[in-house]
Chains A and B, each alone.
Chain A
Amino acid sequence: MTASIHIQNLSRTLGAKKILDGINLSLEDGERLALCGPSGAGKTTLLRILAGLEPADSGTIQIRGQLATKGSKVVIPPWKRNLQMVFQDLGLWPTRTVLRNVSDALRAAGRSKAIAESSARTMLDRLGILSLADRKPATLSGGEARRLAFARALALEPKILLLDEPFASLDPEARQQGQLLLEEILTHTKATLILVTHDADEAKRLGGQSLNLHDGQLS
């Protein structure tokens, strides 16, 4: 069986610091990984290289059997990797309404206008923010904005989902709700997941494997 993600000897140096030092990792379809580690350990850098947003210095990444990154060369561009990422600062599109943040993403990915809009409404409804469809992201609360970022990423039905501290800065109740929602969605979509978190409980609750990134290496 081909691994969903296969990372071999991946290294990256930023300035004088070796952020990633010979990382090896393999994840099967639908597998979940919680990536823990102190701030500045390189967790976000690893996700960004995996997404194709940054090159590595050396090593390779294969996504579903295809060479995606080879050293400093991004072989498969980000938009062809069939993965989505929820950024730490969410990366919402400020000039579009909540509905259009999702429906425009679907249209840009090739869906027809009618299908994009109905799928977007369904996804917003599932995440409990359909009533905010006409609002701009700047007017949302932290929790609502986070749900929107999830809705946009999940509406595209990616095979791989990368979450960069998705529940940071949420209150415990909102955090628990978010985790339940994620569990439900993952059960439904069977996407491979890499979740960056500082929270050991959150890592445990995810139910998959948990690795610690420290001094550029996974343990």
Chain B
Amino acid sequence: MIFHSGRSPWPWRFLALGALLLAAFWPLAPLLQTLLSPQEWASIFEPRLAGLFAQTLWMSALSGLIALLVGWPTAVLASRLHLPGFGWLHFLLPLPLLLPPLLLAQAWHGLTGMDGPWASVWSLGLAYAPLSALFVARALRHQQASAHESTLLVAGPRFALNEMFRVSAPAAILGATLAAVFASTDFAVPDYFSSLGDKFSVYPAEVFNHWRSYQGDPATLKQGAAVAAPLVAVSALALYAAFVLRDRAGALESNSSRIAKPMRCGSLCIPLSVALLSFSVLLFFLPLGRILYETGATGPESQGSWASHATAAFSDAVQRGRSDLGHSLALGALAGAFALLVAPFLAHFWLQLGGHHQPWRKRAARLFGTLLALPLLAPAVGTGLGAILAFNRPGWEPFYDSLLMPGLVLGGRYLPIAVFLLAERMSRIPQARIESARLTGMPYLFRLLYVRLATCRDAWLLGAGLVAVFAIRELDLAVLLPAANASAAVRYYNALHFARDNFVAAFGLLITLLLFLPVAIHALFSKPNDA
């Protein structure tokens, strides 16, 4: 036999799926039960909850829209245009994603005094705009160089810009959908803005309230986890629609390794630079500037300069937060390692499922992708309650009380991000390279490791890194799980509620710096792979 398929991939896939079930789906069991049980739905839609549900939907849709309107053009302008003085900007794109959303909320409140639901919409939209921007930047990075150059030959920069927006539209919409999903599951930011001014509530608050009223009866926790079901169902539908759009957009396979150079914009240079500067001010400079200012801001009565207060705040943050930062790093490392090990098998499986032209396989792949994303779509507080139900049982105490449990749950929750990134990158490996490896008779694991992952190392590490980053900045889930209480995010949350503004700002910047360092090092030293 000339063609040799090697060992079956299925044992590895079952292992990966088993790990996913344990880490991500077991805590979701109460929620999934509700999704599948019609009589539970009826109780969820009593008028008060329905109103809360509608409010959360419009708020998250608007946050998604803001993420789209800010993230999409920012990514196009920063990553593909040659605008003098802005070469470094694409490097800063992920930065706001690393800032805890609560920190950004605090900065926007400090800057404008905003509060109430609109403040929450605005702040969460901008907090997740970089998600849309990152998806767009990655899509544009793979725009065929000759397709871009032919737009230049036909009609110049305006038309080339139009094509860039067209090519990146599905990625922008997918990113904005995820931004809306994240916004809909956030509890801390709406809670913060509600505590400052106009009182309002969102759906995840309902989940959180069940935890607050928990007095030892597991039924309360189960109800709390289950109440998030409608939100997850709507988010899943939105994500499925985004997958359909992405698949319909069509992509041209190319074996060319040439990447289009940043475009010179001629007479459009000044207006485009102004646009990019405006977006950058909104995304980075205003909130970061405000947070930096907060580190040394004082009341009218207090003594000492801004610098002395800021120095004291940073030294306080380092001193008090050191052990919490250590715990957060360990949590992030566990979640990242989980993603590093599991994501390749699931990404490859997902890709193979949809890699044929039969429509049913495309549909199956979209469905699998949506199922895979469920842990990400559930409010973190719901997952937290589910994790307590799943793992807080007699004989499991060493596991429940260790960092391993929250590390695993956080790794499972954010795993879809790593899988999506890796699958997108793997889909661009020329088929001939994979087939020639199969012809050599190389077993599945070696092919995955030496052909696919060796080519996609960049996306593999980026995905695991993002999972680690999201795990470190996760607040809602960390508040609920005792083993994750000693984390930087929880200390930050507590300090914010005790109005220790200088400490909060300094500690927030420390967390951000800590998260940004690996991203910065990755960005500085990574080279675009071929394929």
Interface residues of A (CB under 8 A from B): 51, 53, 77-81, 83-85, 87-96, 105, 108-109, 136-139, 152, 156
Contact = CB atoms under 8 A, between A and B. Distances in A.
B298 interface: no
B152 A79 contact: yes
A90 B252 CA distance: 10
Contact of A87 (B149, B154, B158, B169): B149
Given A84-B153, A89-B144, A94 B167 contact: yes
A89 B256 contact: yes
Nearest to B163: A93
Given A53-B149, A89-B144, A94 B250 contact: yes
Contact of B155 (A88, A96, A108): A108
25 contacts: A51-B149, A53-B149, A77-B156, A77-B266, A79-B156, A83-B153, A85-B150, A87-B149, A89-B144, A89-B254, A90-B146, A91-B145, A91-B149, A92-B147, A94-B252, A95-B166, A95-B169, A95-B249, A105-B154, A108-B159, A137-B250, A137-B252, A138-B252, A139-B250, A152-B150
Nearest to B159: A108
Given A136-B250, A137-B250, A137-B252, A93 B147 contact: yes
B251 interface: yes
Contacts of B254: 89
A124 B169 CA distance: 27
Nearest to A155: B154
Contacts of B153: 51, 53, 78-79, 81, 83-85
B436 interface: no
A85 B151 CA distance: 11
Given A79-B152, A80-B156, A138-B251, 20 more contacts: A53-B153, A78-B153, A79-B154, A79-B156, A84-B154, A87-B150, A88-B256, A89-B144, A89-B254, A89-B255, A91-B145, A91-B150, A93-B150, A93-B166, A94-B251, A95-B166, A108-B154, A108-B155, A108-B162, A152-B154
Q: In the complex, which range does the number of interface residues on chain B fall in?
A: 20 to 34
B255 A95 contact: no
Top 3 closest pairs, chain A to chain B, by CB: A91-B146, A108-B155, A79-B156
B198 interface: no
A88 B249 CA distance: 23
Between B147, B148, B158, B166, the greatest number of chain A beta carbons within 10 A of the residue's beta carbon is seen for B147
Contacts of B435: none
A53 B152 contact: yes
B530 interface: no
B76 to A, nearest CB: 15
Contact of B250 (A88, A138, A156): A138
Contacts of A94: 144, 147, 167, 249-252
Nearest to B155: A108
B431 to A, nearest CB: 13
A53 B155 CA distance: 13
A83 B249 CA distance: 29
